Structures are given as structure tokens and as C-alpha cells.
Amino acid sequence: MDPLVRASGLRGYPALMRNMGHDPIPLLRRYHIAEASLDRDDTLISLRSATHLLEASAEVTGCGDFGLRLSSHQSIDVLGPLSIVLRNAPTIRDALNDVIRYLFVHSPGIIVSVNERSPIVKNTVAVSVDVHLTGPVVTRQNSDLCLADAHNFLRLFAGDKYDLRAVSIPHEPAVSRAVYERFFGARLLQEPGSATLYIARDTFAANVQGANASFHQIAEDYIFRNFGAGEGSTSDRVRQVLRQTLGTSSSDKSGVAALLALHPRTLQRRLSEEGTNFEILKDDVRKQLAVHYLQNTRLTIGQISLMLGFPAQSALSRACRQWFELTPSDIRGGNQQIRVQ
């Protein structure tokens, strides 16, 4: 079965076509897409049909950069509830991890991957987007649209910390290379590769502008409760539940297993198959949230201790010394470089 995509992924399409002097209705009808559906967030359409629509539109309008132009009519809101998760992630790294984990909510046929040490462009992180359809399907315009949206969203999140070093696309450019370089503000690599943004390491580590930890948690919980955990690993699902339940009676192994509808022994076996265990994951989540709460909120250290499920503030202090050889006050002061895997 072909993957679906939220109809909001084509938002702005009718306006763009009309601005270019073309009626969008005939092509929408050809690919069985109702114009009214493009404004309804909960409507799903065929990803294959959407991809064919964009290619046909580029041909009819004679506009080889149709996908890039359409991205200018869109905002982060096309991602629906996922947009709230991303806008409130602590860092760009976290936002990209959330994209990888939850993009199935928008479409399981659009895949994002991250290589933290790009072998192509020195000292960059490679962020790649793939429109995955079986068979001989031309995805040029949809690939450009997805890459352009990723560029616009990351630039929104990182603000003046956004530093894009280079771009690659999986096809020969349908327009001049200068059009791509003007749009992205970065050089287009000579050889076709994957649809990839090569961002500076400082951008990858940058804080998301205006993020709110509470909104992030609420939106993540909404996705988990309404869409499940997609095809993520058991480890990812456990981390997700732990972020929501730390500090409650449900954050032990039995409680997390129950929320995932698994027997505790089954949960432990699956984690073992993935090379980890529950205690390691819980420690990792505590470590990540401890740094975030200490550096990005005004919560007291005592409040943070309770939120992370520690029996007392002294337990958090011991944990911080074990993890980072620093006290919670040292971490809050921000004078030390903290690296959390």
C-alpha cells in the first residue's frame, strides 16, 4: 500500500498555481485531490498522487523550481501537532531527533536522517530527506519541496545561529544552479547525491528559539496518545514514555511496560536485543532533562529533583557529579560545556 501524507503538505498549491496564471483544479482532479482538503489538517492523501501532482504542475507551468516556490507558501504549521513538538525542542539536535521519531505523523513515506559527521562537507552535520515510493516515480519537485521546507524550518528554529554550508539534491537541476544557490544561500554540490542540508556543528548544537519545555512535553504526549510510537525502536518508545512519567509512580520498569502494553520481561528482552536496558535508558533521560531544566528554566533545584524522580535534592547533586563532575549550580551557571549524548 502506498504511504499517505497529510494534505497540509500541499498547502499553498492552489494560490501558487493561480499566481502563475494556471487553474489548479484540472490537475487536482486528475490526481483525485480535492482542493478543500488542502486546508484540513486531518485529511490524508496519497503521497504518490501528491508527488505526481507536483511534477505535472512543474511541466504545465514550465517552472522547474516549482517545489522551491511552493515552499515559500508554507510554514511550519503544515506539520500539524508535530510542529509544536519541534518548535519547543530544547536544541536543533533535539528537534531533528523528534523529526526522525515522529515524522510518520505527517507521512511515513518521508524519511529524515542525520549524519553528525558528514563525510562530504568537512565539519558539518548532514540532514537528509528522502521521499520513499516504490517503483519508477519521479520525485524531483517533491524532494525539492521537502528539502526547502527543512531549510526554512531549521532557519526558523536556529535564528541567527543558522549556518548552512552546502546543499545537495538527488537529481540534475531542472533550473540553473544559481536558482538553488540563491534560494538556499549556500553552494550546491556538483555531483547529485541525496537531498541534504549540510549545517555547521554550531547550528546543530544551537538552542531552538523561543522553546517552551512544557509545550514540548504536552505536544509529545498528544502525539504519543493519538498516534502511537510509529515504527520506532523499543528504546525510543521507552525514552518517550520516561520523558512523560519521570517523577511519577509510572516511571519504573513495570509502569513503563504497562503503558507500552508489554510484560516487564518482554520489555527487558527487547531492550537487551537492542543492546541496552531499562536502567541505562532511565539514566540517559534523567541526564538530558537535568541539563535542560537547569539551563533553560527557572525551576528550583529541589523542584527539578522531584520532576526527575529523585528522592531528595542531594540525590540529584550526587547524580550530576557522577555524570558531569559538576554540581547542579555549576550546570545552571552555564560556565561549563555540557555534552549529553
Q: Which long-range contacts (CB under 8 A, 24 or more apart) does 304-309 make?
A: 304/328, 306/247, 307/246, 307/247, 308/246, 308/247, 309/246, 309/247, 309/248, 309/251
Tell whether 201 and 101 lie within a shared domain. Answer: yes
Domain boundary among 75, 93, 124: 75
The answer to whether residue 229 scores a pLDDT higher than 80 is no
Tell whether 88 and 47 lie within a shared domain. Answer: no
What's the chain's length in residues? 341
pLDDT of amino acid 212 = 94
The answer to whether residue 48 scores a pLDDT higher than 90 is yes
Is 226 within the bounds of a domain? Answer: no
**Rama region for 149: left / alpha / beta (φ>0; ψ in -120 to 50; rest):** alpha
Is 219 within the bounds of a domain? Answer: no
**C-alpha span between 111 and 100 (Å, rounded):** 7
The answer to whether residue 44 scores a pLDDT higher than 70 is yes
What would the pLDDT profile of 238-277 be if each residue is shown by its tens digit? 886 787 677 766 688 988 887 666 789 999 999 999 999 9
Average pLDDT over residues 14-39: 94
The answer to whether residue 290 scores a pLDDT higher than 70 is yes
> Nearest 5°: CA angle at 99, between 107 and 214?
120
State which H helix or E strand residue 218 sits in.
Answer: helix 213-227
Tell whether 67 and 159 lie within a shared domain. Answer: no
What would the pLDDT profile of 60-112 be if each residue is shown by its tens digit? 999 999 999 999 999 999 999 999 999 999 999 999 999 988 898 898 889 99
3-class secondary structure, 75: coil
Q: Which domain holds residue 173?
A: 77-205
Tell whether 67 and 93 lie within a shared domain. Answer: no
**C-alpha span between 12 and 106 (Å, rounded):** 17
What would the pLDDT profile of 313-334 be if each residue is shown by its tens digit? 999 999 999 999 999 999 988 7
pLDDT of amino acid 256 = 82
Is 237 within the bounds of a domain? Answer: yes
Tell whether 250 and 140 lie within a shared domain. Answer: no
Average pLDDT of every residue of the chain:
89
Tell whether 123 and 27 lie within a shared domain. Answer: no
**C-alpha span between 282 and 274 (Å, rounded):** 15
Helix axes 264-273, 234-245, angle to 10 degrees: 120
Within 10 angstroms of residue 293's Cβ, the number of other Cβ atoms is 23
pLDDT of amino acid 259 = 63
Give the model's confidence band at 230: pLDDT under 50 very low, under 70 low, under 90 confident, else very high. Answer: low
Give the model's confidence band at 237: pLDDT under 50 very low, under 70 low, under 90 confident, else very high. Answer: confident
Tell whether 130 and 157 lie within a shared domain. Answer: yes
**Contact (Cβ atoms closer than 8 angstroms) between residue 64 and residue 90:** no
Instruction: From 142, 128, 100, 133, select the one nearest 3 (Cα to Cα).
Output: 133
Cα dist from 114 to 56, 207, 259, whole Å: 30, 17, 29
Average pLDDT over residues 209-221: 91
Give the count of domains, the chain: 3
What would the pLDDT profile of 149-208 be if each residue is shown by its tens digit? 999 999 999 999 999 999 999 999 989 999 999 999 999 998 878 899 999 999 999 999
pLDDT of amino acid 299 = 83
Give the model's confidence band at 227: pLDDT under 50 very low, under 70 low, under 90 confident, else very high. Answer: confident
